[in-house]
Amino acid sequence: MLTQLFPLLDPVHATSDLVLRLRALADDAAHLQHVRSVSPALLRSAPLLKFWVPALRPEGLRLIGQVTGHPLIKGRMIMTSPLWFADPAGRWVRTLSRYYRLGPPANPVEASLITSLQITAPDTGNDETSEKGA
């Protein structure tokens, strides 16, 4: 029933890769709970997301923007997988598989254009397939 409305809830998506990503996310959550910051070295190696705009989707809050430095996607618009953590100072966000450094958000005109696009995201929880070109 719920999996018809929200296919990402289907246990078929509980792959060994997802388990590893969830463990890494839990480790980062424990670190953030105590330290409340991310190491500068980790942020230097994180992809940069510029001209971003938030997108509330059934699977959670995502960002749409232009990415550089992504290990799989080169210099194009993406929709991240759902966000799990965000820096109160606006410097970074954490998705299921990685941190992103945040550059400038989209200006109002760009944001309006981006949010008017019909963007579909995969139904899986796999961050690598979710973070495809928007």
- What is the tens place of the pLDDT at every residue in 84-99? 999 999 999 999 989 9
Residue-wise pLDDT for 15-69, tens only, equals: 999 999 999 999 999 999 999 889 999 999 999 999 999 999 888 899 999 999 9
Report pTM. Answer: 0.80
Of 7, 1, 5, the closest CA to residue 130 belongs to: 7
**pLDDT at residue 120, rounded to an integer:** 54
**pLDDT at residue 3, rounded to an integer:** 87
What CA–CA distance (Å, rounded) separates 100 from 73? 13
Query: And the tokens for 36?
Result: 């409340």
Q: Which of the 8 DSSP states describes residue 61?
A: E
